[in-house]
Amino acid sequence: MSAASVLREQILSLVRQYHEAQFPVRPFAPGHDLAHYAGRVFDAEELCHLVDSSLDFFLTANRYAERFEAEFSDYLGLSDALLVNSGSSANLVAVTSLTSPKLGERRLKPGDEVLTVAAGFPTTLAPILQNSLVPVFVDVNLGDYTADPNRLADAIGPKTRAIVMAHTLGVPFDLDAVGELAKKHDLWLIEDNCDALGSRYRDRLTGTFGHLGTMSFYPAHHITMGEGGCVVTNDERLARIARSFRDWGRDCYCAGGESNTCGTRFSQQFGTLPHGFDHKYVYSHVGYNLKVTDMQAAIGCAQLQKLDTFIARRRANFDWLLNALRPYEDRLLLPRATPHSAPSWFGFAITVRDGAGFTRAELVRFLEANRIETRSLFAGNLLRHPAFTGIPHRVVGGLANTDTVMHQTFFVGVYPGLDRARLEHMASAFARFMRGERAGGL
């Protein structure tokens, strides 16, 4: 073993000792410690992977990125997984890929319509607008917060070319109905799976039904790289296009450190370039640089080994909280799965019912005063936000439920970092509030 290898082993051994000293497991102190809505869950392996990668000092995507992409595509049962630097970038790459001239008449063009919902996170919607496409909004169901499939069917018009929607908070939308619509009307389908890694529909993983799927590895999500995301597909042509948009728009698809994967680097003709112009510097798209570093991917490799355990803990925490809050269903609309689905829950969504006798603001203030983190269901109604005022769009059937989400819905956590003590503290706070206790002075 070389001197460098010996030193690397010594360093990684010290990293494990550091983790034990720096991140000991401490008992939960109710009212003092936060019951987070989400967060990083990691052990010494993530730190060792991170440091191991840093010692390579390759910095940009390298062996860990290649390993993650291979293992993640295997996990999903798809041909390709392309790491990007965030879930938002994954959505940008996925939508933009469908505008590629390489898709011929099927490419999306400015003015084409895309079906989506307004109750969600802005970066599901933003790439539609950034590509001069026109969003068509339909309302969501209360309880599962996914699009009403009947409204989707009503919304299809002569310019409709795609469906781009999220599996909100891990709840799969009606993939039977959506898939049938996409097939019947020859629509592209992008699943924003950023909230839903591990969710299943008819026992198949979400993110694998559409032409493209997207993932987020932000710390709040099911696994993390810090920042990070992924575009997945089972279509090699789409994968090559997506890789081009991610990698500056270049036509070449060589991996880092390679130079002539296609075998025709100096013998092709592109546009009006001189014959044989170096393929590595031919650009077929107006692209971006949205790659990850190998240090991020290294953390992801360690996290991926824990994914099934994380999913199981999310489901167990959700079930425990659901049982604890059932006595208040007359005042709280509790979350539910869609038919045929098994969510990998991102959060526990609650809508305060009309006539509950209290407001969402009062309940949220009480929970926050008791050190229980809450979050709105993201943007509520995106069309109410300054950034999206005046955008070209259509609304089909009204957005009454979306407005209800904006006024009356929030969520608390079910992530794997919540142990029984934290869940019991959360249930106790809900019980005290339902008995009439309120936060003073907040």
Cα–Cα distance, 438 to 284 (Å, whole number): 60
- The answer to whether the beta carbons of residues 64 and 298 sit under 8 Å apart is yes
- The answer to whether the beta carbons of residues 174 and 115 sit under 8 Å apart is no
Check 221, 222, 285, 425 and give the catalytic one.
Answer: 221
Question: Token digits for 288?
Answer: 């971006």
SS (H, E, C) the chain: CCHHHHHHHHHHHHHHHHHHHHCCCCCCCCCCCCECCCCCCCCHHHHHHHHHHHHHCCCECCHHHHHHHHHHHHHHCCCEEEEECCHHHHHHHHHHHCCCHHHHHHCCCCCCEEEEECCCCHHHHHHHHHCCCEEEEECECCCCCCECHHHHHHHCCCCEEEEEEECHHHCCCCHHHHHHHHHHCCCEEEEECCCCCCCEECCEECCCCCCEEEEECCCCCCCCCCCCEEEEECCHHHHHHHHHHHECCECCCCCCCCCCCCCCCCCCCCCCCCCCCCHHHCECCCCCECCCEHHHHHHHHHHHCCHHHHHHHHHHHHHHHHHHHHHHCCCEECCCCCCCEECCCCEEEEEECCCCCCCHHHHHHHHHHCCECCEECCCCCHHHCHHHCCCCCEECCCCHHHHHHHHHEEEEECCCCCCHHHHHHHHHHHHHHHCCCCCCCC
Question: Token digits for 112?
Answer: 């084409």
Residues β-bridged to residue 342: 200
425 is catalytic: no
Q: How far is CA 96 from CA 121, 193, 286, 359, in A?
A: 18, 17, 10, 41
The residues carrying an active-site annotation are 221
